[in-house]
Amino acid sequence: MANKARGEIVAEIGGQSYKLTLCLGALAELEAAFNVDSFEQALDFTKASATRMRLMLFAVLRGNGHETTEQLSEAVNALTLPAFMAIITDLMNASGLTADDKPAPEGDRPLAARKGGRSG
């Protein structure tokens, strides 16, 4: 069972269940897989393709400590683009990230902490 408080999902791949979250290891693997400076650059869905989704899913699997066996590779390679998108979308939603996230308008931003003073 997935730990929703941690942003965890359970992805069914090739008849096996894999617990996945966008943990620091997964974010680092995404940056390395796409040779980018931040994971946000790797999550560019305007360039969605089966190849990009495959790279993304392998990075998230590795980052969550799952060994990329031949059996897992075959199962991932058999996924369709909609199946990749469903897993990645579930993972993003569970992590609190969505494709329509936008910066808060100026008036809706949290107040900055005071510097050098006591609160309250």
pLDDT tens figures, 10-33: 999 999 999 999 999 999 999 998
Q: What is the pLDDT of residues 64-87, one digit of tens each?
A: 999 999 999 999 999 988 898 899
At 13 the pLDDT is 96
Cα separation, 120 vs 18, whole angstroms? 45
Report residue 6 as tokens.
């941690």
At 111 the pLDDT is 47
> What contacts 8, CB < 8 A, 6 or more positions away?
2, 19, 20, 21, 94
Report the candidate in 102, 86, 76, 107 with the shortest Cα–Cα distance to residue 14.
Answer: 76
Cα separation, 83 vs 3, whole angstroms? 22
Phi and psi of 68, rounded to 5°?
Answer: -85, 85
Cα separation, 17 vs 85, whole angstroms? 17
